[in-house]
Amino acid sequence: MTALNAAVSTLPGVGPKKAEALGRLDISTLTDVLFHLPSRYEDRTRITPIAKLIHGVDGQIEGRVTDVRIAFGRRRTMLCTLQDDSATMVLRFFHFSKKQEQLLRRANWLRCYGNARIGRLGQIEMVHPEYQLISEPGVLAMTEGLTAVYPATEGIGQHLLRQLSTAALNVLNKGGTLPELLPESLGEQFDLAPMADAINYIHRPPENADLEKLIDGDHPMLQRLIFEELLAHHLSLRQRRKLREGYQAPQIPANSERFRKMIAALPFSLTQAQQRVIDEIAKDCSSALPMQRLLQGDVGSGKTVVAAAVLANAVAVGEQCVLMVPTEILSEQHYRCLLEWFEPLGVCVAWLHGRVKGTQRKKLLAALAGGDIDILVGTHAVFQDEVIYKKLGLVIIDEQHRFGVPQRLALQRKGENENSRPHQLIMTATPIPRSLAMTFYADLDLSVIDELPPGRQLITTTVISRQRRNDVVERIRHACLEGRQVYWVCTLIDESNLIVSQAATDTAAELTEQLSGIRIGLVHGRMKGDEKAQQMAAFKAGEIDLLVATTVIEVGVDVPNASLMIIENAERLGLSQLHQLRGRVGRGEQKSHCVLMYHGTLSHNARSRLAIMRETNDGFAIAHKDLELRGPGELLGVRQTGDMRLRVARLDAGEAMLDDIRSVADELLASNPVVVAQLLQRWLGRAQDFATV
């Protein structure tokens, strides 16, 4: 046993409690610590005067504590005022202990690092910054080189993670060995750095490291890690695909009478593309091999009706079906849609959501277990333990990029017994370039809707600096007075749900002040389900003119009368996400507009990204560009989905690398099962259990 195999609890500072919390990060050994890679880097090599802080940008400051007080507003908040030669600012804490409060009250000077916010009145703030007590300014040495920031969890802060990685790197560099799992010839063929060098580099980038390259992931040192990580994911998908062959699924004949009736009742005719994918899916379902198909179609291409067509055939032969979606807002929308289409056909559609409680819930679950419900619509709720299906034959997952593989599998398992499992259709509006899909969705067959329903209007997009916010507000006023509806989307990247929700609340308050007479609504992630649903319903009914929202509205929401969208901090979002958001408008008769608002000066990369949004409405073109500019990690959205989390923060893998990965995988699967297992263990850890059950 090498020292790197030792348990993390052998390191100083890791007691049983910490060890358990580390387990949540999938860290149990020193090797796991080494493969817990930074998600980003911070530049703490200098101090910024408070007055020079930039909205939305991280900064390090030193200031004298002039006041600490607790504000009792809607929530208890600790406010700590700091001052330096240039200005004053406030540190805002929503969670804090008595101990912290006392510490700050006794503090004289602080050094802080955090994301700066500058309010409309010029007040400078940081929410939950990292801070350190100092006796006077300038006494504490600056950090040399870039500071790694790790994915953290409750009870495990950056400080501990840095300490642990330092300890693990020490062991590695004093003779610990990280096995080189890739065949030697491969390393030469692709010019990959040795593993130990790459690991050292990514945790502790040298002082002269090129931050931009490092963040973009095209640093040569990173390529080694990226190659291995992508290879490991691809291998696990290939294994999963192979597993399918051991199962059977119910045979669902195509073109049932229910299906024909449903299609005939639609107020429109299907596009050719819709017809084609319906045929592809129906063919899968009529075979006894479980379907595992990914349906891609741009925003607004009409995936819902395709799903309904498949459902119609399945219920026709008595199979139970479930449609899982990522948000409750979307689940309600789908439920209403399916109800309209299926109720006249005598099909029982039910909706499972957070507000179905008590006896109502019991009744619904009993009806499901008894087979009285044909189609169940809902969020993650649909695969919880208490939910039992009589005979689940078809699983449809909408907006797949919001779910992790474990969640997909948990749902699938609801319909699994002995050697049979349900058919699975997975839908996404994120068009994935083919090479990427072949590598990253290797467990799935692919269908594409490459045509929009006729008569769609192009959305006009403009890019505007936040300094022109007042013009934008005037534009909203005009639009609302003309009876149009507007979305205002608040986004902050790398921030907690809490802070983004707070920002949305603040924005709604500001806009209410500025736009008297305009009816303003608000939805954010921390609102209760029924509050959210009520606001959405009011917006849909036209009782609200302007809806201030976080990205909870990103997926699927369909309000055709909304024709103007403002997206704040657009420069910090990925192209695919912007495209998704923008897809909330342009759904009706009216000419639609999207305003991308940015802060400060745009980097070269950000400028070209926003330019793409202005130039095209084509999701595939946008996805290709996204792949080129930000790498597959962002595009796939896997970082949002928990267990399938990629460890290398930015995966920059050209299409050539993706092709190589597939051929290396072929080779390893054919001749080296031991290395396959080791790669899965190293990169997927516990997550791989899902692939091999």
Asked if residue 70 lies in contact with residue 101, where contact means CB atoms within 8 angstroms, the answer is yes
Cα 317 to the center of its chain, rounded Å: 36
Minimum Å gap between C-beta 591 and ligand ADP is 17
Restricted to residues 610-649, the positions that interact with ligand ADP (CB under 6 A) are: none
Q: CB-wise, 4 or 338, nearer to ligand ADP? A: 338
Asked if residue 555 lies in contact with residue 399, where contact means CB atoms within 8 angstroms, the answer is yes
Cα 293 to the center of its chain, rounded Å: 21
3-state DSSP call for residue 60? strand
Residue type, 249: A
Minimum Å gap between C-beta 561 and Mg ion is 18
Distance CA 639, CA 634 (A): 7
Span near ligand ADP by CB under 6 A; candidates 246-254, 293-301, 321-329, 593-601 = 293-301
Residue type, 432: I
Q: CB-wise, 422 or 556, nearer to Mg ion? A: 556
Q: CB-wise, 268 or 483, nearer to ligand ADP? A: 268
The option from Mg ion, ligand ADP, none interacting with 644 (CB < 5 to 8 A, set by class) reads: none
Q: In what order do the strands lie in the sheet with 485-489?
A: 459-465, 592-598, 562-567, 485-489, 546-549, 520-523
Q: Within 13 Å, how many C-alpha atoms sit on residue 231's CB side? A: 27
User: What does the per-residue mask of binding to ligand ADP show for 413-432, with x meaning CB under 6 A?
Assistant: ----------------x---
Distance CA 626, CA 229 (A): 20
The option from ligand ADP, Mg ion, none interacting with 305 (CB < 5 to 8 A, set by class) reads: ligand ADP
Q: CB-wise, 183 or 300, nearer to ligand ADP? A: 300
Q: CB-wise, 239 or 301, nearer to Mg ion? A: 301
Span near ligand ADP by CB under 6 A; candidates 296-304, 519-527, 570-578, 642-650 = 296-304
Counting contacts by CB under 6 A, is residue 302 touching ligand ADP? Answer: yes
Minimum Å gap between C-beta 556 and ligand ADP is 6
Helix axis angle, 619-630 relative to 575-582, nearest 10°? 150
Pick the binder of ligand ADP from 202, 305, 459, 553 (CB under 6 A). 305
Minimum Å gap between C-beta 330 and Mg ion is 7
User: What does the per-residue mask of binding to ligand ADP show for 449-478, with x meaning CB under 6 A?
Assistant: ----x-------------------------
Pick the binder of ligand ADP from 205, 250, 290, 297 (CB under 6 A). 297
Counting contacts by CB under 6 A, is residue 311 touching ligand ADP? Answer: no
The option from ligand ADP, Mg ion, none interacting with 299 (CB < 5 to 8 A, set by class) reads: ligand ADP
Distance CA 32, CA 41 (A): 20
Cα 110 to the center of its chain, rounded Å: 34
Restricted to residues 540-599, the positions that interact with Mg ion (CB under 5 A) are: 556
Minimum Å gap between C-beta 37 and Mg ion is 34
Counting contacts by CB under 6 A, is residue 447 touching ligand ADP? Answer: no
The option from Mg ion, ligand ADP, none interacting with 453 (CB < 5 to 8 A, set by class) reads: ligand ADP
The option from Mg ion, ligand ADP, none interacting with 151 (CB < 5 to 8 A, set by class) reads: none
Asked whether the CA dihedral 288, 289, 290, 296 is positive or negative, the reply is negative
Minimum Å gap between C-beta 182 and Mg ion is 40
Asked if residue 60 lies in contact with residue 112, where contact means CB atoms within 8 angstroms, the answer is yes
Residue in 447, 435, 436 with CA at minimum distance from that of residue 297: 447
Distance CA 475, CA 481 (A): 10
Q: CB-wise, 151 or 300, nearer to ligand ADP? A: 300
Length of the chain in terms of residues written: 693
Minimum Å gap between C-beta 630 and Mg ion is 23
Counting contacts by CB under 6 A, is residue 270 touching ligand ADP? Answer: yes
List Cα–Cα distances, 403 to 15, 82, 519, 611, 613, in angstroms. 33, 42, 34, 29, 25
Pick the binder of ligand ADP from 115, 147, 304, 641 (CB under 6 A). 304
Distance CA 609, CA 460 (A): 16
Residue 234: partners with Cβ closer than 8 Å, 6 or more residues away: 439, 440, 442, 661, 662, 665
List Cα–Cα distances, 145 to 44, 207, 572, in angstroms. 8, 4, 24
Counting contacts by CB under 6 A, is residue 558 touching ligand ADP? Answer: yes
Q: Which residue is nearest to ligand ADP (CB)?
A: 302
Q: CB-wise, 176 or 556, nearer to Mg ion? A: 556
Number of residues binding to ligand ADP, judged by CB under 6 A: 16
Minimum Å gap between C-beta 557 and Mg ion is 9
Asked if residue 248 lies in contact with residue 415, where contact means CB atoms within 8 angstroms, the answer is no
Counting contacts by CB under 6 A, is residue 300 touching ligand ADP? Answer: yes
Counting contacts by CB under 6 A, is residue 36 touching ligand ADP? Answer: no
| β partners of residue 324 | 378, 397
Q: CB-wise, 22 or 309, nearer to ligand ADP? A: 309
340's enclosing H/E stretch is helix 328-342
Pick the binder of ligand ADP from 256, 271, 439, 447 (CB under 6 A). 271
Distance CA 618, CA 624 (A): 10
Under the rule (CB under 5 A), what is the footprint of Mg ion? 556
Under the rule (CB under 6 A), what is the footprint of ligand ADP? 268, 270-271, 274, 297, 299-305, 429, 453, 556, 558
